[in-house]
Chains A and B, each alone.
Chain A
Amino acid sequence: MRRARAPVALALAAVATVALVLLPLAYLVLRAAEGGADALRVLDRDTLDLVLQTLLLVGAVTGSAIAVGLPLAWLVTRTDLPARRLIAVASPLPLVIPSYVAALALLGAFGPRGLLQQLLEPLGVERLPEIYGFVGAWLALTLSTYPYVFLLAASALRGLDPALEDAARGLGDSRWRLFRRVTLPALRPALGASSLLVALYTLSDFGAVSLMQYNALTRSIYLQYRSLFDRTPAAVLGLVLVALTLALLALEARTRRNVRSSASGTERPPALVALGRWRWPAFAFGAGVLTFFLVVPITVLVYWSTRAVELGHGISFAWEAALSSLTASLAAAVVAVVAVVPVAFLAERHPARWTRAIERLAYTGNALPGIVIALSLVFFAANYLPTLYQTLALLVFAYVVRFFPQALAGVGSALQRVHPRIEEAGRSLGRGPIRVLATVTVPLIRRGVLAGGALVFLNAMKELPATLLLRPIGFETLATEIWRFTSLGSYSRAAPPALLLIVVSAPFVYLLSTRRSSDVSAPG
């Protein structure tokens, strides 16, 4: 294949975009440098413990997200699982539940004297096992992240050429051997990419670890900011998070090595595996996952909402806030998928070490908690772009910075599947590069763009810390409405906006659970 040198304009656009995405990183370096050599004082044994505890959580959540998401994906795409369409549609839905709401709801259900305890009390159950700490954070974050694995794995499974598996079976491979030797390797990029998103989500999450009282790095960063007098230690801890991200990126890159796209080009549905006597146990697994991660949290929210009526608060749905959330999140999704185009294009169409590096760099800020993104943009905007400060445009920009990798994952992987020759054909017909992009490439990667945009949208709908500090005054989103009442401990009043958030976001999950292969897959 002819390898054209990257056009300067494209390279500049990509570099400029990534530079903007890395503003929070620049801010951290600035603040850490203020502390001089003294800044490193924060890197002591306690920090090492923090790192280890954080990695433990990241490892556990990634493992459980795969343990839940992968079998579910396989069951709904490749087997005769009962009710598999319903399970396929419902499985990614927990994605719309913010992790702080998930944590509150799990506490409400399984916490000491939660709903389950109340149900079991007549049976003489005095105390449930402890949910605070590691277990709670792990469960809440698994709830929020397993859909990533499910979606990317299901998409990859649907796109897998059945001819390969047929051939292996023809050679007499057992089913397990077949899965291990043929299916799993083909899933590796999807698993690697989704594990990366899961791990980054876990690294950056504050809501769940805070409510569950698990001491992860983000919690420590928040504590440092709340100690008020010195922002250097928080900045140094933020940079530790960036270092962890780099390590994860390197790890993920290894899952993509030596993987060749194996599709023959023809798409036909694979033969379904008959589960036989495993049919109902498999159904129980799917139903169990959905009960635990979807039905339980929603039940708790509905229960709290009914309490609002009992207490005379009444249930009021914050429609205006819903509209604000939709506006800001849709704008963020659109801007994000447009902004990732030069970066994805450069890395995919002009593969070289440096173009790859630029694309990977875009991920490095993704593990930073919202407060860091927020304060960095407060600093840059208030001091250098005051006209944009506290405008909707800046809030949208913050969402794009925070969720850039989600868009990149969607667009990049779709681009990977469009052969450059199709674009070259367009060029040879005399069209300019931008017209080719608009008339040839974009229609071909439409589904990937939609999926990437949907991921940005769903995350922006849930975003709280940056929203609080950067929104225009008086601009209430559903997330800020939830916060307004949870900060008072008034769950009965926090539950209706939380339910509304789930209901409004849910239809967009459909954009992610598309049926064909060329949708979401490995980023870059």
Chain B
Amino acid sequence: MLRRSVIAAALLALAAGCGGDDEAGSGTLTVYSGREQELVEPLFERFEEETGIDVEVRYGDSAELAATIAEEGENTPADVFFAQDPGSLGAVEGQGRLAELPDSILNRVDERFRDPDRHWTGTSGRVRVVVYNTEEVSEDELPTSVFDVTDPKWKGKIGIAPTNASFQAFVSAMTLSLGEERTREWLEALEANDPKLYDGNTPIVEAVAAGEIEIGLVNHYYLYLVKEEQPDAPIENLFLEGEDPGALVSVAGVGVIDGSDEEDEARRFVEFLLSDESQRFYVEEAEEAEYPLVDGIEAKEGLPPLDELRGPQLELDDLGPQLERTLELLNEVGFTT
């Protein structure tokens, strides 16, 4: 008995010690971050230094955090949702859980990269590319459109990640810009071309680097992450031209939780993410070379400038609602069964 009560007391003490005390006006900002700690932690630290506002960050998968906010409802401890993709932000927005952002924030970013209903804004850009192995593929052999990768010459040599949010957003973008019929035909032709399936973008780039496959459909910045691990990897990104759906330009973004106790601090945080200094962080320091979205700040050297990249013309906010149909489509074609 004694032992049991000692244990209970110890547990209670632990609970009290670690309890989240997110009272109104405590001056602590709680951020749910679907962006990786290694990539964004320096930004949080700078924000704390500059403003004196404490930031507590819960890191996780963007979609899982969106589901968490939905389950938490009104009681969510989150003040800010910092996500990998417009789809997760759109899901939280769809639950009515994001507050409107003021013009002073929204006007920092081109309309193309934010929610038309003003609930979230992009903070950095990422582009779909074809990553290729420079030893196996010469430049003149490269596809010129994502529609070329169904050519038999890539049979068994192309990698995709059909369960990954970024690939799904790309398929959604193709459906929105070219229609479902065309998209289904392409998916079927791709499936017939015996693609290798991976769990995410990083394994694809690694597989291309290893020569296991020759090309892969990924976001542009994974190349830089893999080069951190393997500086000599023979890999290069191919940026597709024009309105090719394979050149989708998307964003990681941020929204303020509706009814947050720290709404002012939350807005300051969003402003901070869009400040010149933070935007320059993506160019100068971050391992992964994302695109800054604010005017006047050039992308990392070697990247084609953002305004030259077109990609499919659509509202990023429409990608989220399209996801359900995209999953069905991927399922019907046989990529996820």
Q: Using CB atoms and an 8 Å cutoff, list the residues of chain A in contact with chain B.
A: 46, 49-50, 111-113, 132, 210-211, 213, 215, 219-220, 223, 225-231, 307, 311, 327, 331, 334-335, 338, 371, 374-375, 378-379, 382-383, 386-394, 396, 434, 438, 465, 468-469, 472-475, 480, 484-485, 487-492
Complex: how many Å from CA A219 to CA B199? 11
Complex: how many Å from CA A390 to CA B58? 10
Contact at A487–B63, with CB atoms within 8 Å? no
Complex: how many Å from CA A475 to CA B57? 10
Of the listed stretches B8-16, B263-271, B291-299, chain A binds B8-16
A contact residues around B337 at 8 Å (CB)? 46, 49-50, 215
Which of B10, B60, B67, B90 is in CB contact (< 8 Å) with A231?
B67
Complex: how many Å from CA A298 to CA B168? 35
Q: A327-B14, A472-B20 are in contact. Are A226 and B63 (CB under 8 A)?
A: yes
Complex: how many Å from CA A474 to CA B31? 11
Which of A382, A393, A484 is in CB contact (< 8 Å) with B38?
A484
Q: Does B203 lie at the interface of the complex (its beta carbon under 8 Å from any beta carbon of A)?
A: yes
Which of A112, A223, A374, A379 is in CB contact (< 8 Å) with B336?
A223
Within 8 A of A (CB), among B162-213: 163, 165, 196-200, 202-203, 205-207, 210-212
- Further 11 A-B residue pairs, CB within 8 A, beyond A227-B63, A338-B4, A468-B59: A213-B197, A228-B63, A228-B66, A229-B324, A335-B7, A335-B11, A383-B72, A389-B75, A473-B20, A487-B36, A488-B38
Complex: how many Å from CA A371 to CA B61? 11
Complex: how many Å from CA A485 to CA B38? 8
- Chain B nearest CB from A366 CB (Å) reads 21
**17 A/B residue pairs, CB under 8 Å, sorted by A:** A49-B337, A113-B211, A210-B163, A211-B199, A223-B327, A223-B336, A226-B163, A228-B87, A228-B323, A311-B231, A382-B73, A391-B14, A434-B1, A469-B64, A472-B20, A473-B56, A489-B205
A contact residues around B327 at 8 Å (CB)? 223, 227
B contact residues around A371 at 8 Å (CB)? 64
Q: Does B307 lie at the interface of the complex (its beta carbon under 8 Å from any beta carbon of A)?
A: no
- Chain B nearest CB from A271 CB (Å) reads 42
Of the listed stretches B102-110, B220-228, B235-243, chain A binds B220-228
Contact at B20–A390, with CB atoms within 8 Å? yes
Q: A230-B324, A472-B20, A475-B18 are in contact. Are A491 and B212 (CB under 8 A)?
A: no
Contact at A383–B73, with CB atoms within 8 Å? yes
Contact at A474–B64, with CB atoms within 8 Å? no
Contact at B18–A112, with CB atoms within 8 Å? no
- Chain B nearest CB from A442 CB (Å) reads 10
Q: Using CB atoms and an 8 Å cutoff, list the residues of chain B in contact with chain A.
A: 1, 4, 7, 10-12, 14-15, 17-20, 30, 36-39, 56-61, 63-68, 70-73, 75-77, 87-88, 90-91, 94, 163, 165, 196-200, 202-203, 205-207, 210-212, 222, 225-226, 228-229, 231, 320-321, 323-324, 327, 331, 336-337
Complex: how many Å from CA A500 to CA B45? 27
Complex: how many Å from CA A509 to CA B150? 51
Complex: how many Å from CA A335 to CA B6? 12
Complex: how many Å from CA A229 to CA B172? 15
Contact at A392–B1, with CB atoms within 8 Å? no
Q: How many contacting A-B pairs (Cβ < 8 A)?
A: 161
Complex: how many Å from CA A386 to CA B207? 45
A contact residues around B59 at 8 Å (CB)? 468, 480, 484
Complex: how many Å from CA A492 to CA B222? 16
**Chain A residue at minimum C-beta to C-beta distance from B200:** A489
Complex: how many Å from CA A376 to CA B57? 21
Q: A226-B63, A226-B165, A468-B60 are in contact. Are A391 and B323 (CB under 8 A)?
A: no
A contact residues around B72 at 8 Å (CB)? 378-379, 382-383, 389
Contact at B67–A375, with CB atoms within 8 Å? yes
Q: A210-B199, A338-B7, A391-B20 are in contact. Are A225 and B228 (CB under 8 A)?
A: no
- Chain B nearest CB from A447 CB (Å) reads 17
Q: A113-B212, A229-B94, A469-B68 are in contact. Are A307 and B229 (CB under 8 A)?
A: yes
Q: A50-B337, A227-B327, A488-B36 are in contact. Are A382 and B229 (CB under 8 A)?
A: no
B contact residues around A46 at 8 Å (CB)? 331, 337
Contact at A382–B11, with CB atoms within 8 Å? no
**Chain A residue at minimum C-beta to C-beta distance from B21:** A387
Complex: how many Å from CA A391 to CA B37? 21
**Chain A residue at minimum C-beta to C-beta distance from B75:** A382
Contact at B228–A484, with CB atoms within 8 Å? no
A contact residues around B88 at 8 Å (CB)? 228
Contact at B37–A484, with CB atoms within 8 Å? yes
Contact at A392–B63, with CB atoms within 8 Å? no
A contact residues around B196 at 8 Å (CB)? 132
**Chain A residue at minimum C-beta to C-beta distance from B288:** A488
Contact at B67–A489, with CB atoms within 8 Å? no
Contact at A382–B324, with CB atoms within 8 Å? no
A contact residues around B165 at 8 Å (CB)? 226
Contact at A311–B229, with CB atoms within 8 Å? yes
Contact at A213–B198, with CB atoms within 8 Å? yes
A contact residues around B91 at 8 Å (CB)? 228-229
B contact residues around A220 at 8 Å (CB)? 336
Contact at A392–B14, with CB atoms within 8 Å? yes
Contact at B225–A227, with CB atoms within 8 Å? no
- Chain A nearest CB from B233 CB (Å) reads 12
Q: A307-B229, A489-B203, A490-B228 are in contact. Are A215 and B336 (CB under 8 A)?
A: yes
B contact residues around A393 at 8 Å (CB)? 11-12, 14-15
B contact residues around A491 at 8 Å (CB)? 229
Complex: how many Å from CA A314 to CA B108? 39
